[in-house]
Copies of this chain bind each other. A is one copy, B any other.
Amino acid sequence: MPPRIHVGPEPERLFTEAVEAAGAVVAAEPAEAEAIVWLTGEPAGLVSVLHPGVRWVQLSSAGVEQWLADGAIDADRRWTSAAGAYGETVADHALALALAGRRRLHECARADSWSRELEGRPLFGCTVAVVGAGAIGRALIRLLEPWGCRIVAVTRSGRDVEGAAVSLPASKLDEVWPQADVVVVAAPATDATRHLVGAPELARFRSDAWLVNVARGTLVDTEALADALAAGRLAGAALDVTDPEPLPDGHPLWREPRALITPHVANTDDIRRRTLADFTRENIRRYAAGEELRGLIDPARGY
């Protein structure tokens, strides 16, 4: 019997097609379903339709802090996030930001006159610190491969990361900052990673270094960063995420010449939907086949 899967809160076609493409059956009502694909970020709606027969819930975002904070994620069934699905897309944005920073494209974009003062530098031979080696970090390391950069990968445990010259645990981050030409923050937002980059850390950055944040705004102490940029302690910061977010009008970072802000667009809605549909189809196939699911959430770990 193929599994019966509900797509909610609305039965979006891209996803009902993914259910069928995976060999499963679309359940029109949650009550008939043994698994649910939930396409909004609001826990309340899903909780109201959950029942003991639901063995698995596929959520649509890569980060699930809100779901964990609300206690929506229980131990009665498996829950999967979209962690991994958006890795390549976000890595593409991270590398676009890193290259733009090195090449001073943010300054060029603001210029209205020719000036050879705006010389940048290529990425060849750089040391790139990749903080967090989840789907984004791993995809970024793959994209960087042809540049021959020296990759310093940082994970909680310090486990060996493929493609990295050096793999370090988060406890050794102090050694990382002074080495890196580019620091890319791609770690999950947890209590342990809040303000991972604050004033003491920024003080150890190289003066020609770039900070790129494509993870969550809370990983960086925004005020400390604004101060460090204003003081020229580092070459620049390219941020797709901020804290607070959205970054309010009039915030000093909007007029900071060393900052490049993108409005949380590493993963666009269009791409997200297509990527999520592919990810969901593959997870349904795995579910039906009894294989390990991608993006399994571990509430104890916090992602």
Contact = CB atoms under 8 A, between A and B. Distances in A.
Interface of A: 88-89, 92-93, 95-97, 99-100, 102-116, 118-124, 142-143, 145-147, 245-249, 254-255, 260-265, 268-271
Contacts of A92: 99, 103, 122-124, 147
- How many subunits of this chain does the assembly comprise? 2
Contact of A109 (B99, B110, B120, B246): B110
Contact of A264 (B110, B116, B143): B116
B109 A263 contact: no
A124 B88 contact: yes
Nearest to A261: B108
B143 A108 contact: no
B119 A109 contact: no
B249 A116 contact: no
A260 B146 contact: no
A248 to B, nearest CB: 8
A130 to B, nearest CB: 15
Contact of A265 (B116, B246, B254, B261): B116
A255 B112 CA distance: 7
Contact of A100 (B105, B107, B123, B269): B105
A261 to B, nearest CB: 6
B260 A114 contact: no
Given A105-B105, A105-B106, A147-B143, A263 B122 contact: no
Contacts of A93: 103, 120, 122
Contact of A108 (B113, B262, B271): B262
Nearest to A96: B99
Contacts of A105: 96-97, 100, 105-106, 109, 260, 262
B89 A96 contact: no
Nearest to A254: B112
Contacts of A116: 263-265
A303 B156 CA distance: 53
A110 B110 contact: yes
A263 B112 CA distance: 11
Given A95-B99, A96-B102, A104-B265, 20 more contacts: A89-B124, A92-B147, A93-B103, A96-B99, A96-B100, A97-B105, A100-B105, A103-B262, A105-B109, A108-B260, A108-B261, A109-B109, A112-B254, A113-B249, A113-B254, A114-B246, A114-B247, A114-B248, A119-B268, A143-B147
